[in-house]
Structure 1
Amino acid sequence: MTTILVAGTASHVGKSTVVAGLCRLLADRGVSVAPFKAQNMSNNARAVPTPDGDWGEIGVSQYVQARAAGITPTTDANPVLLKPRGDGESQLVIDGEAVGHYEARTYYDDHWEHARSAARDAYERLRDEYSVIVAEGAGSAAEINLQDRDLANVETARFTDASVLLLGDIERGGVFASLYGTLELAPEAIRERIAGVAITKFRGDPTLLEDGIDELEARTGVPVLGVLPYDDPGLPAEDSLSLPAGDQRAVVGADDGVPEAATVTVGVPRLPHISNFTDLEPLAAVPGVRIAYLPLDGTLDRIDGLVLPGTKNTVDDLLALCEAGLDEAIRTFSGPIVGLCGGYQLLGERITNASVEGTGDTETVAGVSRLPVETRFSETKRVEQVSVPVDGVGPIDGATGTASGYEIHMGETSVAASAHRPLGPDSAATQDVLGTYLHGLFENEQIRSAFVDALYAHADRDRPGSERSVQTPFDDAAALVRELDLSALDLPAGRSES
């Protein structure tokens, strides 16, 4: 049995992509492989089975990595999840279940040992089932202020006895200093297990790095296993740090040569505690559809439709939206609107028992009032995968069949008798507005297609040709890691690749 820990010199050096690529590469060779991240910090989560048959949450990257490995993702892939909610506080999720909200000091003093035990137990269950575990570290593997409580890097290396692959991102500049400094500062639990390093996100001629690589190897005795080109396979982002800057309107999307006159733009308010924004990726992949992340003090000019995404703190984000004045713009917006989870709650008449979730003492907060619903918060959290019949009206007019996805939310929403319920009893729709708790909504082709049609109908434009299907980028990630000399990692050979 083999365990590889993919660690990094910093955050966003490519760890998640390399883990996904290794999982797909090994799975293609017929090797039984599973991903693992002992502790993750992300507000992008997925609902997956727990070992005892319930449902729980894991970070989206581990969900994607499990799919790359060709296995059913479970909470063992990410036994400890921290979901930031502002003011230095995070929701702690252990084995998929929310435990409570804690500041960092409280977590480390009172809950870290429990988290470490849960992580070790989850790893041992995976170890008993799979031939290879590809673990992902977090941030830097050499944070000298955290080495006695670094669950994702130091403790994972210890209790898994993993071989470590260290990544450094050259696009940030100073990659050799970053790698050398990390190797010097890393604790023995990491340093003695490093099998090799790799340079990521390189643009240009790799031969220009040869002198630096030779010097790094001579100084450290650690081999450089390869240089990965800058090539984003398009895997879902881990957190909101990958979103465009929050102080300006920024547009992303897949135009693929579609003329300007044949495009539509979906506005997405960049909520302070935005979560599960990966719900927008299937829309962004449709040629002609652009996603514009909007600052809360911006306008809805040149916007053809709106999607209000999930949020880790609905109450505070609703107050921020109102304070900035965007609530009034949403009230008068005439195009199609979809609210997902927290975004759905924002669109209702009011939120009651708000102090359960908000950071203040206010018990009732007025909503944007685009849907005839009311949400009451409670401590109970619903986490499950669901399938619902589709009775398309409003922004998804004409959609039929069944839609599948997952729900992760607190609070219960009461829907007025006059409202349509196109996606089950806790959804609501009017002629122009849809609200639902169903994450992954736009992964359902009929829903995505109907909403895009509504965008073009509002824009009074003809829809461009056929929609491009959303491609799973696992093979691209596997092709990327094939650039590495993996012999130092002592991986099982499996069957040869054709």
Structure 2
Amino acid sequence: MKGIMIQGTASDVGKSLITTAICRLLANEGVKVTPFKSQNMSNNSYVTMDGKEIGRAQGIQAEAAKTDASIWMNPILLKPRSDLQSEVVLLGKAICTLSGKSYRDTYYEKGLVTIMNSLSRLSESYEVIVMEGAGSPVEINLKDKELVNMKIAELAGVPVVLVADIDRGGVFASIVGTLELLTPPERNRVKGIIINKFRGDQSLFEEGVRWIEEKTGVPVLGVIPYMDHMIEGEDSLSIAERFSSKPKRSIEIGVVKVPFISNYSDIEPFLYEEDVSIKWIEKAEDFGHPDALIIPGTKSTITDLQFLKDRGLVKAIRSYVVEGGMIVGICGGYQMMCKELVDLAGTDTGTANMVVQGLGLIPAKTIFHQEKITTRVSGNLHPLTRIEGISLEGYEIHLGKTEYDAFATVSPFILCEDGETDGYYAFDGQIIGTYLHHLFHNDEWRSHWLNKIRAMKELQMREIVSLQSLKDRRFDDLADMVKEHLDWNQVKRIISQWEKS
């Protein structure tokens, strides 16, 4: 199978974005193309149609490639649970939690076998593979057992294009330094350089392009302008930039920024609501007076609940609700809203039978068991919400199960297609808790919820913003923009003419 690998001089230089654009460009030309990232480290994940978990970036890239996402596109996903440990998701299923050292010591060989098997499976169904690296390919302390950059390009037998971010500064040093630290065989595999996030008049950088090509002997394939794109980010490095770039609007939604936030793509639909802005809240002093509050998902619910307690946010959140503030808890945020959290199996904290007090906003307790739930979900708002005609779909990724007090009067939030219920809905929607990720990606629900806030503030009601109709357009717009500033024919020649070494 032919292919190409996009590596970078550092994290957050735009590897995911370039990979996504190339997937769409090839798909638009009728090529059966697949994305691939051997090992991803991110708490922003994606549930495939068969209920398996992969990195969200590869799920989005599969959509750009006009194909269904599968576990073979991201066989290893590492989900950080603390500064030292990550959950290991192998072929879509969580298998253990390890420190970085333990993972490198025990999973390197198994990882290589899994990656080779995944590449073999993809080669059966696709003509071209567009691979994405991670961080930098020259992290010297990690190179001997790396599973995501040059070693994988060698296994797949594909050429490499190096992406550098000019917006952060130091672009010349980052390119030359990266190439100098590669071994000669690795350096020979690099067939092009892409300069990303350029601001201003590109003619002023022509001398810089010539210098790079003369110094390195590697062609610059394009200088891509800084784009205000609509493609979901991969990791937390891009969170603050994407949301803080939007000024305060007439509706302000506070989002509790917990250390191990997961699936922050739950919040991204608000980027496309013209009268809505997001305010990140990390301590009580940040709270202010938001029109609504969202407690997002987290990879470590009890650890992040302790973060809320340490920062004075528990008292602030309780006071906010008592004063009539609207609150939505999603997944881990929903669990925090319970009266009590019980880590029965030790799967959340590593300590079995640990019991902690929650926010006390919901008459329930969450019990963490051994088995993780990952599933696609569809249904409607529960009849007890008294809201008709709104359907919902999304996915669940969680360990805990939430159980309500025996004599509590509870209105579930969602009636699922399989007859099961999910979540909590109280006080005409003032308090909502749910395990459903991508709740606000449902256009009718998001519009209904925002219009309720608009009515409370005596603002003008707004029509539904259709995210689904924007999705294909954003991929095409991204592809067109990248193609305009890229030697696309040269990229295709690199893919087609590379010979396996």
TM-score by length of structure 1 reads: 0.91
**Is contact 2:72-2:122 (8 Å) kept?**
yes
CA offsets 1:284-310 (integer angstroms, 9 cap, x no match): 321211111111233432201011100
Distance verdict in 2 for CA 1:97–1:429, change over 3 Å? same
How many residue pairs get aligned? The number is 476
Aligned counterpart for 2:71 among listed residues 72, 75, 79 = 75
Aligned counterpart for 2:331 among listed residues 317, 323, 341 = 341
- State the Cα distance separating 1:61 from its structure 2 match: 0.7
Code of the residue aligned with 1:371 in structure 2: it is: I
Code of the residue aligned with 2:489 in structure 1: it is: S
Please give the alpha-carbon distance, in whole angstroms, between the structure 2 residues aligned to 1:407 and 1:476.
30
**Is contact 1:254-1:289 (8 Å) kept?**
no
Structure 1 partner of 2:122:
126
Structure 1 partner of 2:481:
480
1:367 maps onto 2:369 in alignment: no
**Is contact 1:392-1:400 (8 Å) kept?**
no
Structure 1 partner of 2:396:
407
- Superposition pairs for residues 85-484 of structure 1, below 5 Å? 85-244=81-240, 251=244, 253=246, 263-333=250-320, 334-353=324-343, 355-358=346-349, 363-391=354-382, 398=387, 400-416=389-405, 417-424=408-415, 425-431=421-427, 432-458=430-456, 460-470=457-467, 471-472=470-471, 473-482=474-483, 483-484=485-486
- State the Cα distance separating 1:153 from its structure 2 match: 0.5
Q: Name the SS for the 2:193 alignment partner.
A: strand
**Is contact 1:273-1:317 (8 Å) kept?**
yes
**Is contact 2:23-2:65 (8 Å) kept?**
yes
Please give the alpha-carbon distance, in whole angstroms, between the structure 1 residues aligned to 2:51 and 2:340.
29
Please give the alpha-carbon distance, in whole angstroms, between the structure 2 residues aligned to 1:93 and 1:66.
19
Distance verdict in 2 for CA 1:299–1:174, change over 3 Å? closer
Structure 2 partner of 1:45:
45
Code of the residue aligned with 2:410 in structure 1: it is: A
Please give the alpha-carbon distance, in whole angstroms, between the structure 1 residues aligned to 2:383 and 2:270.
18
Please give the alpha-carbon distance, in whole angstroms, between the structure 2 residues aligned to 1:223 and 1:399.
58
TM-score by length of structure 2 reads: 0.90
Q: Name the SS for the 1:318 alignment partner.
A: helix
Please give the alpha-carbon distance, in whole angstroms, between the structure 2 residues aligned to 1:373 and 1:421.
12
- State the Cα distance separating 1:361 from its structure 2 match: 6.7
- State the Cα distance separating 1:360 from its structure 2 match: 5.7
Q: Name the SS for the 2:369 alignment partner.
A: strand
Please give the alpha-carbon distance, in whole angstroms, between the structure 2 residues aligned to 1:190 and 1:59.
26
**Is contact 2:377-2:393 (8 Å) kept?**
yes
Q: Name the SS for the 1:452 alignment partner.
A: helix
Distance verdict in 2 for CA 1:298–1:116, change over 3 Å? farther
- State the Cα distance separating 1:383 from its structure 2 match: 0.7
Please give the alpha-carbon distance, in whole angstroms, between the structure 1 residues aligned to 2:494 and 2:178.
24
Please give the alpha-carbon distance, in whole angstroms, between the structure 2 residues aligned to 1:491 and 1:24.
17
**Is contact 1:399-1:447 (8 Å) kept?**
no
Structure 2 partner of 1:496:
none
Residue identity over aligned pairs, in percent, reads: 39
Structure 2 partner of 1:12:
12
- State the Cα distance separating 1:65 from its structure 2 match: 0.4
**Is contact 2:443-2:465 (8 Å) kept?**
no
- State the Cα distance separating 1:230 from its structure 2 match: 0.7
Q: Name the SS for the 2:489 alignment partner.
A: helix
- State the Cα distance separating 1:37 from its structure 2 match: 0.3
Distance verdict in 2 for CA 1:252–1:269, change over 3 Å? farther
Distance verdict in 2 for CA 1:266–1:131, change over 3 Å? same
Please give the alpha-carbon distance, in whole angstroms, between the structure 1 residues aligned to 2:351 and 2:286.
28
Higher RCO (Cα < 8 Å, 6 or more apart): 1
Code of the residue aligned with 1:60 in structure 2: it is: R
CA offsets 1:333-355 (integer angstroms, 9 cap, x no match): 22221111000001111101264
Structure 1 partner of 2:418:
none
Code of the residue aligned with 1:244 in structure 2: it is: A
For structure 1, the 5+ residue unaligned runs are: 494-498
Structure 1 partner of 2:27:
27
Q: Name the SS for the 1:310 alignment partner.
A: coil
Of 358-367 and 157-166, the range deviating more from structure 2: 358-367
CA offsets 1:413-459 (integer angstroms, 9 cap, x no match): 1134511012132311111111111101111112111211232244x
- State the Cα distance separating 1:185 from its structure 2 match: 0.9
- State the Cα distance separating 1:128 from its structure 2 match: 1.5
Distance verdict in 2 for CA 1:468–1:386, change over 3 Å? closer
Q: Name the SS for the 1:274 alignment partner.
A: coil
Please give the alpha-carbon distance, in whole angstroms, between the structure 2 residues aligned to 1:88 and 1:348.
28
Of 449-458 and 134-143, the range deviating more from structure 2: 449-458
